[in-house]
Amino acid sequence: MSPSSVTKRLVSIFAMIAIQLVFSHSVMSLNQTNSLNQTNAYLHHTCINGQGTYKPGSPYEENLNRVIRAISISISNYGFVHGSNGDAPNKVFGKLQCRGDSNESKCRSCLDTAFSEIRSKCPNNKGGIIWYDNCLLEISPINSLGKIDYQNTFYMYNENDVNGDTNSFNKNSRALLYRLKEKATSKENNNGKQDLPQNGENRLIRMKKLYAAGEGSLGKMKLYAMVQCTKDLSIKNCNVCLNWIMAKLPTCCNNKQGGRVLSTSCNFRYELYPFVKN
In the chain, where are the structural domains located? 3-153, 159-271
Q: How many CA atoms lie within 13 A of 72 on its CB side?
A: 14
CA separation for the pair 65, 74 (Å, rounded): 14
Per-residue pLDDT at 207: 63
Tell me if the pTM is above 0.75. Answer: yes
Identical fold between 3-153 and 159-271: yes
How confident is the model at residue 205, as a pLDDT? 53
For domain 3-153, the CATH class is alpha beta
Residues 6+ apart with CB under 8 A from 111: 68, 71, 72, 75, 96, 135, 137
Query: Is the model's pLDDT at 87 over the cut of 60?
Result: yes
Burial of 46 (0-12, 13-18, 19+ CB in 10 A): buried
Digit-coded pLDDT (tens) for 152-185: 999 999 999 999 899 999 999 999 999 999 999 9
Q: Strand 42-53 vs strand 22-25: parallel, antiparallel, or unpaired?
A: unpaired
* Assigned CATH topology for domain 159-271: Killer Toxin P4; Chain A (3.30.430)
User: In whole angstroms, what is the distance from residue 114 CA to residue 219 CA?
Assistant: 39
Please give the DSSP secondary-structure letter assigned to residue 245: H
* CA-closest candidate to residue 162, choices 244, 242, 219: 219
